């Protein structure tokens, strides 16, 4: 798995694509006067800001652990995806603000053919970049790259809708179709933005591993478990590409320290092999001791209480 610092090149690719698409879509809007194409250009502006934020946060997340951040800085990526979600919502509001007056007082579009051609080139650039970012984000477990990729794909589908609307206006002459499509685009952008903010907020609250990874963890533990070895207080959380899991391992009290240590070493090794970049913490306890079964909660009651 690549280190976060090496992922910055994908953010630079996104920045370059955003600059190119802003120029192309703005030109298409100026040619046609379509608020649909204007909304498309404004979303690309958000893409640029989001890509810049992703670049900054990927650089922060690449910093090694230090005295104040013993678990590293990988959660920095969530700030980029959360901020991107909020920017998307703001862009949607701006699109609505621009579209409503045109809905009330429609205006004819100009140079539709040339404008559509320019916007199509911009959409193809976004599509190619989104596929690259999504593949890299999933491969390296980077939520910042995934968020950027999903935003670009939203832009691609948005552009497709706008292109259809502008073409339909040219064929039918119904001018209000352009702002109507722009408002539908804005509604879709709000949905994506809220989803990104929610996902980032959940991650900052130490959300558990995805279901597939938890099932893999249970499968590994089942191979070691039995009447003599049991597990409880299993807790998982994720921070960017990094995974954390802690658990209590209960073994017979007459086992030697060396035997218990060998067991947890094998368990930790298998988990790290199956789920890369996982930090595994185990706590060995005697299975016969009642106290071993009383410390499953996050806050264990003190003796005095």
Domain membership of residue 299 (yes or no) is no
How many other C-beta atoms lie within 10 A of the C-beta of residue 3?
11
Same domain? For 232 and 194 the reply is: no
The pLDDT mean for the chain works out to 79
DSSP for residue 296: -
Same domain? For 32 and 122 the reply is: yes
Segment 75-94 shows an average pLDDT of 74
- Give the separation between CA 198 and CA 80, rounded to whole angstroms: 13
End residue of a domain, out of 204, 220, 237:
204
- Give the separation between CA 151 and CA 148, rounded to whole angstroms: 5
More confident position, 256 or 184: 256
Domain membership of residue 186 (yes or no) is yes
Check whether 1 has a pLDDT greater than 60.
no
Q: What CATH code is carried by the domain that includes residue 33?
A: 1.20.1510.10
Residue 256's pLDDT is 94
Domain membership of residue 300 (yes or no) is no
Residue 36's pLDDT is 61
Q: Which residue has the tokens 């997340």?
A: 61
Same domain? For 241 and 174 the reply is: no
The domain tally of the chain equals 2
Q: What is the pLDDT of residues 194-224, one digit of tens each?
A: 877 877 777 777 788 888 899 999 999 999 9
How many other C-beta atoms lie within 10 A of the C-beta of residue 95?
26
The DSSP string of 6-31 is GGHHHHHHHHHHHHHHHHHHHHHHHH
End residue of a domain, out of 160, 183, 204:
204
Contact 250, 232 (CB under 8 A): yes
Same domain? For 70 and 131 the reply is: yes
The model's confidence at residue 109, banded by pLDDT at 50, 70 and 90, is low
Count of helix runs (H) and strand runs (E) in the chain: 8, 3
Domain membership of residue 301 (yes or no) is no
Same domain? For 191 and 219 the reply is: no
Same domain? For 219 and 81 the reply is: no
Domain membership of residue 257 (yes or no) is yes
Which range of 61-70, 96-105, 284-293 scores highest in mean pLDDT? It is 284-293
Domain membership of residue 298 (yes or no) is no
Closest C-alpha among 41, 33, 171, 43 to residue 102:
33
End residue of a domain, out of 166, 185, 204:
204
**DSSP-derived 3-state class of residue 286:** strand
Enumerate the β-bridge partners of residue 283.
Answer: 248
Q: What are 220's two structure tokens?
A: 């590994």
Contact 224, 263 (CB under 8 A): yes
More confident position, 124 or 89: 124
Q: What CATH code is carried by the domain that includes residue 226?
A: 3.30.70.1350
Domain membership of residue 303 (yes or no) is no
Same domain? For 251 and 126 the reply is: no
Q: What are 301's two structure tokens?
A: 């009651």
Residue 305's pLDDT is 47
Residue 229's pLDDT is 93
Domain that holds residue 221: 211-293
Same domain? For 244 and 177 the reply is: no
The model's confidence at residue 92, banded by pLDDT at 50, 70 and 90, is confident
Same domain? For 35 and 155 the reply is: yes
The model's confidence at residue 226, banded by pLDDT at 50, 70 and 90, is confident
- Give the separation between CA 197 and CA 86, rounded to whole angstroms: 7
Same domain? For 284 and 160 the reply is: no
Strand ranges, E, within 191-274 = 230-239, 242-251
Same domain? For 194 and 219 the reply is: no
Domain membership of residue 252 (yes or no) is yes
Same domain? For 61 and 20 the reply is: yes
Which range has the worst mean pLDDT, 46-55, 144-153, 164-173? 164-173
Q: What is the pLDDT of residues 257-287, one digit of tens each?
A: 999 999 999 999 999 999 888 889 999 999 9
């Amino acid at each position: 798995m690549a280190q976060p610092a090496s992922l910055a090149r994908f953010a630079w690719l996104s920045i370059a694509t955003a600059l190119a698409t802003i120029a192309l879509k703005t030109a298409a809007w100026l040619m046609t006067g379509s608020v649909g194409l204007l909304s498309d250009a404004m979303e690309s502006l958000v893409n640029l800001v989001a890509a810049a934020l992703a670049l900054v946060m990927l650089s922060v997340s690449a910093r090694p652990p230090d005295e104040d951040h013993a678990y590293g800085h990988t959660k920095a990526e969530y700030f980029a995806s959360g901020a991107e979600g909020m920017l998307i919502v703001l862009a949607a509001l701006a699109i609505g603000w621009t579209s409503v007056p045109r809905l009330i007082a429609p205006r004819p579009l100009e140079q539709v053919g040339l404008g559509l051609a320019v916007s199509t080139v911009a959409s193809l650039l976004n599509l190619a970049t989104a596929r690259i970012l999504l593949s890299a984000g999933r491969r390296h477990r980077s939520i910042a790259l995934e968020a950027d990729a999903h935003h670009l794909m939203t832009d691609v589908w948005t552009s497709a809708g706008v292109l259809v609307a502008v073409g339909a206006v040219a064929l039918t002459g119904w001018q209000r179709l352009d702002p109507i499509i722009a408002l539908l685009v804005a509604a879709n952008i709000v949905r994506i933005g809220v989803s990104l903010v929610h996902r980032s907020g959940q991650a900052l609250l130490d959300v558990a591993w995805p279901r597939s990874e938890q099932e893999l963890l249970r499968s590994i533990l089942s191979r070691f478990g039995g009447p003599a070895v049991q597990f409880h207080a299993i807790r998982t959380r994720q921070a960017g590409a990094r995974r954390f899991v802690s658990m209590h391992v209960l073994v017979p009290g007459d086992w030697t320290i060396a035997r218990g240590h060998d067991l947890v070493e094998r368990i930790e090794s298998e988990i790290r092999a199956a789920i890369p970049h996982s930090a595994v913490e185990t706590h060995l306890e005697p299975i016969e001791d009642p106290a071993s079964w009383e410390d499953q909660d996050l806050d264990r009651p003190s003796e005095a209480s």
